[in-house]
A and B are shown apart, each in its own frame.
Chain A
Amino acid sequence: MSNFNRRDFLKISGGLAVGATVVGCATNLGGAAKARVVVVGGGVGGATAAKYLRMMDPAIHVTLIEPNKHYHTCFMSNEVLSGDRSIKDIEFGYAGLAGHGVNIVHDTVTGIDAEKRMVKTADGDSFMYDRCIVSPGISFTWGAIEGYDAKVAEKIPHAWKAGPQTVTLRKQLEAMRNGGTVVIAAPTNPFRCPPGPYERASLIAKYLKTHKPKSKIIILDPKDKFAKKGLFTQGWKRLYGYGTDNSLIEWVGGAAGGKVESVEANNMVINSQVESIKADVMNVIPPQKAGKIAFSAGLVNKKGWCPVDVATFESHIHKGVHVLGDASIATKMPKSGYSANIQAKACASAIVAMLNEKEPGVPSYQNTCYSIVGENYGISVGMIYKYSKAKNLVTPIKGSGGVTPKDASMETLKREAHYAHGWFDNITHDIFG
């Protein structure tokens, strides 16, 4: 099936008397559909869910609503910053999903009426559903850092959603003088991709080491520890002189006053609790919460994240609506692309069971996060999880998982870097292929 969108449908059906307000009428879209699922958001979670729903039960009509024509993966976007990849290498379209029979609609969802089982869009359309999947990603808590808001972020990028801001940040690094200072402001927990800021520092250092070796990266961090800290600092010592006077990377943790309080965009000054730094390039990653649509659909708790049943990912607030990926509370899974991919499969499987009047099966979850520290230098953390029904938790399986051993050989670290790239190839194919 080709990319059969709503307008094509209206064209073919002669505009229909009902006008443009009612769409997604499954029976008119070629063959009788068993049920309709509307997926909101075409990132990792949404795209995986849409594809797997179609693979698991082709009788289900699936519509994916996503405003952008392309998705840029956050994973491996740090390699765009180092110049190892172009933005095109992390860009994916929706033709693969259309090939699986997913109806792709490029529009912005403005609201979800859980009572009427209807999704509304900015174009004024409404989509009826039997089940709705929302995979909204993250949004930012503006105002947490004085002087830093969405407008300032155009100039001082967060680049925490890959895309134009990733390109901006790369250009700024390219334009920077040798001897410049790059400041990365890491966010508070919880946030998308826990090892991400530290991989970013590593890959910017990789670039600077070759091209601008007199430069320096300062990570200002409100936290005292971070994901794979021991492995990152070991790698920084080996590759970037970490801990010496000439280190390319300096990390200032919470106890040392690393919390950022304000940004002076015009002067390019960033103020932490204890010092003011004049920066050449700034990358401020603000605190995070669930994506915007999760708020307008009323799917969030007081902390701004979405409580769900972790077996089916059905919202605890609105029945019939499932929330996946970074926006969902799937403790103890980290907010990662791998997690979103796995959660989408668990959710799709549960929805297929429900729509076929069967009992949803038992989920199985995994997460593996690779980080590139430098040339031929990769590290990883992984975990296998099981569903803990009594506590509604995704529970790590004892004895499994863990991080790359500290005494891993250089050969192992090289392979981890190569496998990180292999993982990128396979997961993106699993999602969008």
Chain B
Amino acid sequence: MVSKKTILTPLLAAGALLASSSVFAAGPTAETLAGTCSACHGYQGNSVGIMPSIAGSTAEYFTDTMKAFKSGERKATVMGRVAKGYSDEDIGKMAGYFSQQKPVGMKQSFDRTDAALGKKLHDEYCEKCHEDGGRNNEEGPVLSGQSKLYLTYSMEDFKMSHREGPKKMSKKVKSMVEKHGKGGVDAVLNYYASQQ
């Protein structure tokens, strides 16, 4: 027995609504496009897995990265295949969306001793561009709170020229490794991972 009155008039005008083409001309919205990323890059771009968080990327960095994947200039596992599916307009919309999202540091394990050394090394070699302990995104990606494994992969990619980086960065990394060994890089990455 159902006696409840209908609270709302069911909205059945979908057919009529769909007849208009204005929405279709504009393509998918930024939110819709961003929604296709979150299964891998986390809800609203904040990853809880090893994929990088893309929340808080500047629009410029996001766009440049997607274009580098698209052209093959930056080597990747799946992102080369994925980026080719989005137009420059789509990428622009996604860039706008993710630049507005607040980055949240990923919960992950790290070595405390390494992280303490890493902070010192970061201040000496990295802080000039990656300001505020890697939180600042003006000169590149947000480093603080990123997956340590992803950052390790990124450093390998820079080394193998699978990814283009600024010349000053390779110089700085080189001089850090000369002085502190490979462990220096790992220490810095532990420092970024410690920012949760």
**Which A residues contact B (CB, under 8 angstroms)?**
18-19, 21-22, 25-27, 33-36, 52, 116-118, 126, 128, 130, 311-312, 314, 319-320, 338, 341-342, 345-346, 349, 353-355, 357-366, 368, 380, 382-385, 389, 397, 399-402, 404, 411-412, 415-416, 418-419, 421-427, 429-430, 433
* Among candidates B35, B39, B156, residue contacting A423 with C-beta atoms closer than 8 Å: B39
**Interchain nearest-CB distance for A148 vs B (Å):** 34
For B77, the chain A residues whose CB sits under 8 A away are 380, 404, 412, 415-416, 419
For A423, the chain B residues whose CB sits under 8 A away are 39-40, 49, 51
The residue among B13, B32, B90 with the most chain A CB atoms within 10 A of its own CB is B32
B11 touches A130 (CB 8 A): yes
Bound-state CA distance A379–B6 (Å) is 51
A422 touches B51 (CB 8 A): yes
For B149, the chain A residues whose CB sits under 8 A away are 418
A355 touches B47 (CB 8 A): no
- 17 chain-A/chain-B pairs, Cβ below 8 angstroms: A22-B2, A130-B11, A312-B14, A342-B35, A353-B17, A354-B11, A360-B23, A362-B27, A366-B82, A368-B39, A368-B40, A384-B86, A397-B84, A400-B82, A419-B78, A427-B39, A429-B42
For B2, the chain A residues whose CB sits under 8 A away are 21-22, 116, 118, 126, 128
- Name A320's closest neighbour in chain B (CB-CB): B10
**CB-CB contacts of B138-164 with A at 8 A, as 1s and 0s?**
000000000101000100100000000
For A360, the chain B residues whose CB sits under 8 A away are 14, 17-18, 23
Given contacts A130-B8, A357-B11, A425-B49, contact A430 B36 (CB under 8 A): no
The residue among A18, A389, A430 with the most chain B CB atoms within 10 A of its own CB is A430
A359 touches B20 (CB 8 A): yes
Is the CB of B68 closer than 8 A to any CB of chain A?
A: no
The residue among A353, A366, A399 with the most chain B CB atoms within 10 A of its own CB is A366
Given contacts A118-B2, A400-B81, A430-B39, contact A364 B32 (CB under 8 A): yes
Give the residues from 1 to 53 in chain B that come closer than 8 angstroms, CB to CB, to chain A: 1-4, 6-8, 10-14, 17-18, 20, 22-24, 26-29, 31-33, 35-43, 47-51
B10 touches A380 (CB 8 A): no
**Which B residues contact A (CB, under 8 angstroms)?**
1-4, 6-8, 10-14, 17-18, 20, 22-24, 26-29, 31-33, 35-43, 47-51, 77-78, 81-82, 84-86, 90, 147, 149, 153, 156
For B49, the chain A residues whose CB sits under 8 A away are 421-426, 429
* Among candidates B1, B6, B7, B81, residue contacting A382 with C-beta atoms closer than 8 Å: B81
B84 touches A128 (CB 8 A): no
Bound-state CA distance A27–B156 (Å) is 57
Question: Nearest 9 A-B pairs (CB), nearest first?
Answer: A384-B85, A400-B85, A422-B49, A425-B49, A422-B50, A366-B36, A364-B28, A427-B39, A400-B84
A418 touches B40 (CB 8 A): no
Bound-state CA distance A320–B6 (Å) is 15
For B43, the chain A residues whose CB sits under 8 A away are 426, 429-430, 433
- Name A311's closest neighbour in chain B (CB-CB): B18
A362 touches B24 (CB 8 A): yes
For A314, the chain B residues whose CB sits under 8 A away are 14
